[in-house]
Amino acid sequence: MSKVLQNGDYPFKKVYDYILHRIERKEWKENDKLPSVRQLADEMNLHRLTVLKAYQLLKQHDKVYVKEKVGYFVKSNETNNLEYLDNPIVSAYVQKNHLSEIHQSPVFYNFSQALIDPNLLPNHYFSDYVKKVFDLYPKVLSTYSTVQGDIELRETLTQYFINQYKTHFNADDLLITSGSQQAIHIIAQTFIKPRDIVLIERPSYSAAIDTFKSNGAQIVTVDIKKEGYDLTQVEMYMKQYKPRLFYLNPTFHNPTGYTVSVGQRKKLVELAEQYRCLLIEDDAYHDIYFEHSPPPPIYTFDTAGTVIYIRSFCKYISPGLRIAAVICQSPLMKSLITIKSLVDNGSPLLNQKVFLLYFSSLRLQQHLEKIRIALQIRKEIMEEELTATDWQWISPKGGLNLWVELPDRIPTELLLTKSIEKSISFVPGQVFDPFKQLSPWIRLSYSYANEKQLRIGVKRFVEVAQSLSK
């Protein structure tokens, strides 16, 4: 009988997952001897009891067996096979989510998750806000949200955007989604049919590439560089291919960190209107700037209704809530709402009300300041540790990642395998490329690991890379 795991069990769960994952990836094969409890505890800097608990659960779950006075061994078990089994009944039409698979590897030096270290988020205050939600809205858990999203929240966010950018719209032009991934999914469902052409930056957010492909889109790529796009090329593509939409992330771009100029933003809107191509502006990193706030979003230059704007607040407000806002003009919005009603019939009301309270608080602004400072420090630590190499990168002015070009002599795929063995993760550039090339590039996130893990982890990572380039 499985017992309910308590909060204090988290480190033990991590060890459990760490070992299980290596077994499933066949890094330890059937009947291989696992590290001893002492060895693993030392290596992971954990208490031996924590490691022992993990081993015991693995034994209980039939993944390992014990030889008295010798140690733990991998048990033979056919269901350890992670490969896709043939579905005996029906085959599935499934496009892989490449980024999601890399994130499955639990490691200690995590440079693959473009997420903010939970310790940097104001967890204690969240708790207060949630309690307050129940005082204000006693029936919040027994009520569904409307499909479009809680009206209070939409009005608050609308007012926020109007104040920030002096644009004119109202709460009807805003849709609440369960994070930006869902927003991208809904937009793809609404506007893409198989063989439609879609413009995507190269490189681009991996899950967006996978989403558009899974809707049958044909991808045409637009290079993004430090200076932005080649707008002559963009115009030529719009004329030639008549794409339905152009999905872009022009502010602290993921993975490159580049930011596109105001001049280019205005020109893009003109082109979109002229060639009847929707612009899908994904702006998840907007508030994560170091020195200066970035240029206004592309949608603020939109008049003809060519832009659909996605602003996720997940990264730095609260990943556990999953709240994003989608802003667009009325005819487009009605279609999105209909699709939203089919994908989940409305985001949970509790999350929206908790988010509303926190978003409306003074504490948010203060905390955002602290996060910016903390992230800038972490970026600088990562960059310091990389100075010893001849690797190339442009230092970003915001966001969560470094986009680093490795010299040719370092083989990226082998680097990934060897790094994971050393409990370090990163994302190879080809994951962000629809053509699956870009292999000298890698994305290193500095936002998740703490300062100590950054120093040790990046040092080790450089050592691993150098050991491969002999």
Within 13 Å, how many C-alpha atoms sit on residue 298's CB side? 34
Q: Which of 147, 175, 224, 269 binds its own copies (CB under 8 A)?
A: 147
Count the residues in the chain: 470
Nearer to its own copies, 232 or 303 (CB): 303
Residue 322 binds to its own copies (criterion: CB under 8 A): yes
Distance separating alpha carbons of residues 279 and 299, to the nearest angstrom: 9
Q: Which of 318, 419, 430, 447 binds its own copies (CB under 8 A)?
A: 318
Residue 232 binds to its own copies (criterion: CB under 8 A): no
Residue 94 binds to its own copies (criterion: CB under 8 A): yes
Residue 175 binds to its own copies (criterion: CB under 8 A): no
What part of residues 348-407 is at the interface with its own copies (CB under 8 A)?
A: 348-351, 354, 356, 360
Residue 305 binds to its own copies (criterion: CB under 8 A): yes
Inter-residue contact 445 to 112 (CB < 8 Å) = yes
Tell me the β-bridge partners of 307: 279
Nearer to its own copies, 192 or 326 (CB): 192
Only segment of 34-42, 93-101, 367-375, 382-390 that touches its own copies (CB under 8 A): 93-101
Backbone CA torsion sign across 130, 134, 137, 140? positive
Only segment of 22-30, 32-40, 319-327, 369-377 that touches its own copies (CB under 8 A): 319-327
Only segment of 30-38, 41-49, 78-86, 228-236 that touches its own copies (CB under 8 A): 78-86
What part of residues 6-25 is at the interface with its own copies (CB under 8 A)?
A: 6-7, 13
What part of residues 23-52 is at the interface with its own copies (CB under 8 A)?
A: none
Residue 239 binds to its own copies (criterion: CB under 8 A): no
What part of residues 241-260 is at the interface with its own copies (CB under 8 A)?
A: 244-245
Q: Which of 69, 70, 87, 292 binds its own copies (CB under 8 A)?
A: 87
Q: Minimum distance from CB of 2 to its own copies (Å)?
A: 4
Residue 242, Cβ neighbours under 10 Å: how many?
Answer: 12
Q: How far is CA 36 from CA 13, 48, 62, 108, 450, in A?
A: 17, 10, 18, 18, 27
Distance separating alpha carbons of residues 299 and 420, to the nearest angstrom: 40
Q: Where are the alpha helices (DSSP H) in 344-450?
A: 349-359, 362-386, 412-421
Only segment of 123-131, 386-394, 422-430, 436-444 that touches its own copies (CB under 8 A): 123-131
Only segment of 112-120, 285-293, 365-373, 375-383 that touches its own copies (CB under 8 A): 112-120
Residue 155 binds to its own copies (criterion: CB under 8 A): yes
Q: What is the DSSP string of 183-215?
A: HHHHHHHHH--TT-EEEEEES--HHHHHHHHHT
Q: If you compute the radius of gyration of the chain from its CA atoms, what whole number of angstroms results? A: 24
Residue 214 binds to its own copies (criterion: CB under 8 A): yes
Residue 179 CB contacts under 8 Å (≥ 6 apart), including other chains: 312, 314, 322, 323, 324
Q: Which of 233, 345, 417, 466 binds its own copies (CB under 8 A)?
A: 345
Q: How far is CA 43 from CA 33, 37, 52, 57, 426, in A?
A: 17, 10, 14, 20, 20
